[in-house]
Structure 1
Amino acid sequence: MASNRPAPEFLHGSTDSEFGVEQESWEEWNPTEESVRPVRGRHRVSRQRGGLARSSTVLGVGVIAAVGAGGIATAQGGKPPVHISMPDLSSVKDSLPDAKSLPGVGALISDSDESGSSSSAASAAPLTTVGNGQSDAGEALRARIMQQAETQQDAADAKAQAVAQEAAAKKAAAEAAAKQAVAEKKAAAEKKAAEEAAKKKAEAERLAQLAKSYKLPVASYTVTGTFGQPGSMWASGYHTGLDFAAPTGTPIYAIHSGTVTEAGYANAYGYRTIITLDDGTELWFCHQSSINVSVGQKVNTGDVIGRVGATGNVTGPHLHLEVHPGGDATGVDPAAWLRGKGLTP
């Protein structure tokens, strides 16, 4: 238990600074049964005054805390801070030792009052500083989070856009490749068709030019037998030439210019004339009724070399034409050979 403080005795001639009364000096106080009894009078009044002062101090501290809380709430609400000048709280510290433990008040009472600077700085500082710091920190954190979210969203959008652009580029490239392939195929087909058309045109021109030097052996006729036609009437078992049926005496023309190498009767062929062309091809004109040329004679295209007849192994008047390239015994199809010269039998 703490020892009792000496009871003050107020003497005349001095003034107490706390209570405002005059006193002369202090004397030692030894408590006795009589002295510890409740004392009525000035001491009781002094205690009441001290209680009133302490109550006033607590009330003042409460007001200060309320004003400080209001300042913090004002700062957090976005309103401009209000600066409040704090009075000297040294008397509060002395009168209320537990004031440091009060919420919102302890920070205002600093232990550094011994230096005399911290207390005045704390009292002069605005109470809204803490609120502003919390608000600024919250806003900074919120801004940072929003910035990170926007950055992530921008990155996701950029990635999606890049993927879409890549897919569109691939699709466009595939479509372009397909179109190019179709165009190339069409161009190749057109080129091939153009080449074939040009080739046909050139061949037609060549044949037309060549046809000027070739002529069909009979002007008016009917084809009654074709090359390769099978039958027992022919010794080889098939027809070896092309038959132009026409009335007896119909003129026979030299198909192309050449030399007469044979002119006379040849058994089953009847009267036959052979003209050898410059390339060695032999043309046989058979079953004639008469011959108008002789061996060694030069003939030109369109010259009359004989007449249609029915001599030899025949069933009626006609011209039997055979073609033997190089003088070979085996002949070729006269119709195909004539077409190769621009003539159509």
Structure 2
Amino acid sequence: MASNSPAHEGTDVQETPTAGAWGEWNPTEDSARPPRGKHRVFKQRGGLARSSTVLGVGVIAAVGAGGIATAQDRPQVSISMPSIPDLIGGDSAKGADGADTAATKAAADAQNAGVPQQADAQGQADAGEALRSRILQQAESQQDATDAQARAEAERIAREAAAQEARTQKEAADKEAEAVRAAAEKAAADQAAAEKTAADAAAAKTKAEAAPAPASAAKSAGGWFLPTSAYTLTSRYGAAGSMWSSGHHTGLDFAAPTGTPVKAVGGGKIISAGWSGAYGYRIVLQLDDGTEIWYCHLSSMSVTSGAVGAGETIGRVGATGNVTGAHLHLEVRKGGSTMDPMAWLNGKGLSV
């Protein structure tokens, strides 16, 4: 019989009458109250078909609701519904086609599971490829930077080497130019000195030749000449001293500037001309009577052989041989013996 206690909210409990009192109870549409909230439905014998139908409808509704909830997030997949006996009866409820139904369910589950797995694998592959591309780009950028730095360093080293080479070449060129300039200056100085010496000698010669002959140098009636002009007598014949090998002076010295002309005292011929030891450069003039006139310490010789006339220039005053300065050493020899040149000249009418 029905309970007199109040009904709990959300749950209606019905008591099943005993078989002895009521027999088998099977509520009808008129005697059953509409269920409210959650209800517990007892399994009835003989009502398998209706219960299976109700359960199948519930499963379809649940699956449809789940599909609608996730339709926006997951790709569309096919849904395979298992048969009602497979859901409620287990292995004992399977019919002849139970194996096919289980295979169909397994294939659907595998297909449903494979779709998101394939999508996840494709996404992971795309992300890996993007990461690989970024790594390669970074590596290429770093390699380009390294290559650019290496090229810049090589260019810097090349520029420094070229600059050093240019400096070395410039220094070498400067040294060579300095050496050439110094050599040119020395050559110019030497040439100037030589030209000055030649000019001084020419000026002295011109002056000596242009100077008026002293009265003592005038030609006598017999045609005799003094050996040189513009002179100063320094050492006379017979003067004693250690400077001479014989112990005394054997001639007469006429001191005069180098280059002063030396003349023949009379007509005759040159019998000897050349180097003569302590006498230096010497010319021997032999007169017509056999007297020899020696001209010693000459700087140059104008006539070295042959006949000469009285007053003819035969050489120039110098300082060759054993001397202490420029002068003409004049000796007069006859028969191999020396005589006083001043006395001999005075005997020819020449005043020395």
**Which TM class, normalised by the smaller chain length?**
0.3 to 0.5
Using structure 2 for the length normalisation, give the TM-score.
0.39
Query: Over alpha carbons, which structure has the higher Rg?
Result: 2
